[in-house]
Chains A and B, each alone.
Chain A
Amino acid sequence: MRSPFKKFLASGNVFIWGCAAGVSVSLLMVFGLLLLIVINGLGYFWTANIVELTLKDKQHVMGQLAGREVIPRSVTPDRPEGKSRLRVKIGNRDIYGLDFKWVNDDQIASETYSPDIALLERREWGNMYARIKAVYKGEMLQAEGNDAGWIALAPLIDTTNALYQQITRIERIEIGSINTDIEQARLKIRALEMGAAPDTRESGQIDSLKAQVAAAESRYQERTLELDTLRTQFNEYSVLMVDANGREKQIPVGQIIRALRPNEIGLMHKCWIYLTNVWSVLSTEPREANTEGGIFPAIFGTVMMVIIMSLAVVPFGVLAALYLREYARQGVMVRLVRIAVNNLAGVPSIVFGVFGLGFFIYAVGGTLDTLFFPERLPTPTFGTGGILWASLTLALLTVPVVIVSTEEGLAAVPREFREGSLALGATKLETMLKVVIPSALPGILTGLILSMARAAGEVAPLMLTGVVKLAPSLPVDGSWPFFHFDRKFMHLGFHIYDVGFQSPNVEAAKPMVYITTLVLITVVVLLNLTAIVLRNHLRKKYAGSVL
């Protein structure tokens, strides 16, 4: 005789409910997290209207609304519950020192949105919210008053932006390449002088190199002169701004990236601005300790690192798996190796970072330096962190994943395929290459997908092996040999850590953290999708036989 309760238990419904609950909780957490990131990240690109608040004490506050909350008791314990306050982004960091300000609701006398307030995006000090008072060329007044100044300002900003690009190009590319020339000539001279006492041919070479250096230096002088004139033009105009409380501030037009009057812009135009904002974050370099500007170098570094890692991890993992599954004698030894490999996946990633630092950077890189770049010492070339070493460290970290999935893929290749090939007179190697590995490719790609996902999200080992908060140049550029595997690089994961937790201006950095997270997730998803599409294509091609 079974009681109804026991029957209910035995029917397995509890179990099913439990499973369903587990799945829903996990899904809810994942989607909740994604939603949080998406909302906070995507909101950043929207240009909100500028509010001007008049307070009861006749003070004015001007800025973009950034949120409203119930005043926590910890702030004002004597206040009755339920009162709320506004968070306003007031910008003007050079004047106020802080970007955000709390305004209690009960202090506000009136709230207006006047169309004549300007938002200036600046290269330094963040946004400015103010009205224009006058525009000057040097000491000379060019335009006076808000509207006249606004009209005069727009073309000036275009000119200075063009000048800025020109100056950066000269500084980065032209002067950069002159510097490389000088550096390389100097290194050659040093290399020649380092050997035995130079003979006549060698001293001739040294002289011609020295002449090259001199020529390059005079080119450098020309360029700096050119730069000086450009810089004077760049700083010629300035604009006098006045804030909500009548405080004045004069700033050079060269400091302004873009000027907007958000309150008079229509919805369509705002959408357009939204898109340009997204694009500029994705395509430009960071400014102001990474809290503003774009994250392009970090995206580039992440993708390139993952690609180098994939190129390293796949051959390595596949060879290891092939040996373990197909060639090694299956016994205690192989089983031990397999256990070791599986456990390797559980080693904390920082340990791999330490290993990468000790092995790749100091041992391998240091040896490379003494063998191939002795003239540059004591400045290390490969003997310091760089994208190559970081990628290889991550390859080590993720190789167990590739080995395990490849082994599974190999085990799933039907024995009939192998025997069919062998019976036709193929050797074992030919059978491997022509039948077994192609059939195991989906498994191999699964391993690659998992390892890419893991590698893109790792930060700790990178901090020891070559990631930096601000890299002066990308690992790929126009100067010979185009790929610079020894360079340090930026990475989205590290960027999140750096911007979110190492930055002096936490409030200003917050949206940047969300955006970077969003981009990192997108990058991982895109990389994975590519591999998944490839895998499905192969699956279709090598689908199991009929019957």
Chain B
Amino acid sequence: MQNGLRQSPDRNYKDHAVKLTLNQVNFFYGDRQALFKIDIEILTNQVTSFIGPSGCGKSTLLRCLNRLNDLVEGARLEGTMLLDGIDIYGPNVDITDLRKRVGMVFQKSNPFPKSIYENVAYGPRLHGIRNRGRLDQIVEEGLIGAGLWEEVKDRLQASAFGLSGGQQQRLCIARALAVKPDVLLMDEPCSALDPVATAKIEELLFSLKQDLTVVIVTHNMQQAARVSDWTAFMYLGEIVEYGLTKEIFTTPSKKQTDDYITGRFG
């Protein structure tokens, strides 16, 4: 328990409630273990980033948080994961409710082959909102939240595929926001985008964390340093070090972390 946030003596720790608690989590793809004894807490209204070399289990960890890994045949999880104190792998958990509360944005933007409007309205419609006026309002709020409203308000009925890559990714953020999640998981959301589009999304993160908890995976260390309050460095399925972003990047306590962020491996 050397890496846990619980040992971190930082003052911010007391200002924010704990959103997610991972307790001794082990995760297996069949016989192959992908996560080892993950033991961290993620704080409300903060941006927490996971960095680490490719294949170290960042995506796996993220997909455990909304149980998307349930789809993988033979996948198995040990330990507990609490969302607001409730075990998300508990027997009474409704997966669709969980996924409504824990939204996700993927590495490759994946708008549905529908209009911009229908993409954003997809989630609310699923959850039973039929009223046209209400839907219009939710769509507008979602698009404003994702900083896309001004660009698309005149062509809501146009196909989502007509948007640029960055706009598509923000549309996916709007789509996730439209179901009003508590937590937003982002798996390398900018890896396929140009610097301008990346900057827009990074800007967005600052406004998003006012209302929700953001967990972001990135392979770009500058990005993690810029956008996140907390950073976890993962290596081979383990959390090597977890703490305030500025401390991790200035005074890492582990040599591995130091090597990684200074570019000596990764």
- Are A543 and B161 interface neighbours, CB within 8 A? yes
Q: How far is the CB of B142 from chain A (nearest CB, A)?
A: 12
Q: Inside 8 A of A438's CB, which chain B residues have their CB?
A: 113
Q: Tell me whether B209 is interfacial, beta carbon within 8 Å.
A: no
CA–CA, A416 to B106, complex, Å? Answer: 8
Q: Tell me whether B179 is interfacial, beta carbon within 8 Å.
A: yes
Q: Which of A18-26, A178-186, A384-392, A419-427 contacts B (4 or more CB under 8 A)?
A: A419-427
Q: Which of B50-58, B119-127, B238-246 contacts A (4 or more CB under 8 A)?
A: B119-127
- Are B113 and A422 interface neighbours, CB within 8 A? no
- Are B110 and A420 interface neighbours, CB within 8 A? yes
Number of interface residues of A (CB under 8 A): 24
Q: Mark B residues whose CB is within 8 Å of A.
A: 66, 68, 71, 96-100, 103-104, 106, 108-113, 122-123, 126-127, 159-161, 163-165, 168, 172, 175-176, 179, 192
Nearest-CB residue, chain B, relative to A418: B71
CA–CA, A427 to B127, complex, Å? Answer: 11
- Are A420 and B126 interface neighbours, CB within 8 A? no
Q: Mark A residues whose CB is within 8 Å of B.
A: 414, 416-417, 419-427, 430, 434-435, 438-439, 541-547
Question: With A419-B106, A423-B68 in contact, is A543–B113 under 8 Å at CB?
Answer: yes
| Residue in A416, A419, A424, A542 whose CB lies within 8 Å of B179 | A424
- Are A424 and B106 interface neighbours, CB within 8 A? no
- Are B66 and A545 interface neighbours, CB within 8 A? no
A/B interface sample: 21 pairs, CB < 8 A = A414-B110, A417-B112, A420-B106, A420-B110, A422-B68, A423-B68, A423-B99, A424-B103, A424-B122, A424-B123, A425-B126, A426-B122, A427-B96, A430-B126, A439-B113, A543-B161, A545-B160, A546-B161, A546-B165, A546-B168, A547-B108
Q: Is the interface of A mostly helix, strand, loop or mixed?
A: helix
| Residue in A417, A434, A543 whose CB lies within 8 Å of B110 | A417
Q: How far is the CB of B100 from chain A (nearest CB, A)?
A: 4
Q: Inside 8 A of B176's CB, which chain A residues have their CB?
A: 423-424
Q: Inside 8 A of A541's CB, which chain B residues have their CB?
A: 113, 159
Nearest-CB residue, chain B, relative to A542: B113
Q: Inside 8 A of B103's CB, which chain A residues have their CB?
A: 423-424
Specify which of B66, B113, B160 lies most central, judged by the most chain A CB atoms within 10 Å of its CB: B113
Q: How far is the CB of A328 from chain B (nearest CB, A)?
A: 12
Q: Inside 8 A of A425's CB, which chain B residues have their CB?
A: 96-100, 123, 126-127, 179
- Are B122 and A547 interface neighbours, CB within 8 A? no
- Are A546 and B163 interface neighbours, CB within 8 A? yes
- Are A421 and B96 interface neighbours, CB within 8 A? no
Q: Inside 8 A of A547's CB, which chain B residues have their CB?
A: 108-109, 165, 168, 192
Q: How far is the CB of A159 from chain B (nearest CB, A)?
A: 62
CA–CA, A424 to B121, complex, Å? Answer: 11
CA–CA, A81 to B66, complex, Å? Answer: 90
CA–CA, A439 to B112, complex, Å? Answer: 9
Q: Inside 8 A of A421's CB, which chain B residues have their CB?
A: 112, 122
Nearest-CB residue, chain B, relative to A427: B96
CA–CA, A167 to B123, complex, Å? Answer: 66
Q: Inside 8 A of B104's CB, which chain A residues have their CB?
A: 423
Q: Inside 8 A of B100's CB, which chain A residues have their CB?
A: 424-425
Specify which of A423, A425, A542 lies most central, judged by the most chain B CB atoms within 10 Å of its CB: A423
CA–CA, A30 to B197, complex, Å? Answer: 54
Q: Inside 8 A of A545's CB, which chain B residues have their CB?
A: 109-111, 113, 160-161, 168
| Residue in B108, B159, B161, B164 whose CB lies within 8 Å of A416 | B108
CA–CA, A422 to B100, complex, Å? Answer: 10
- Are A423 and B66 interface neighbours, CB within 8 A? yes
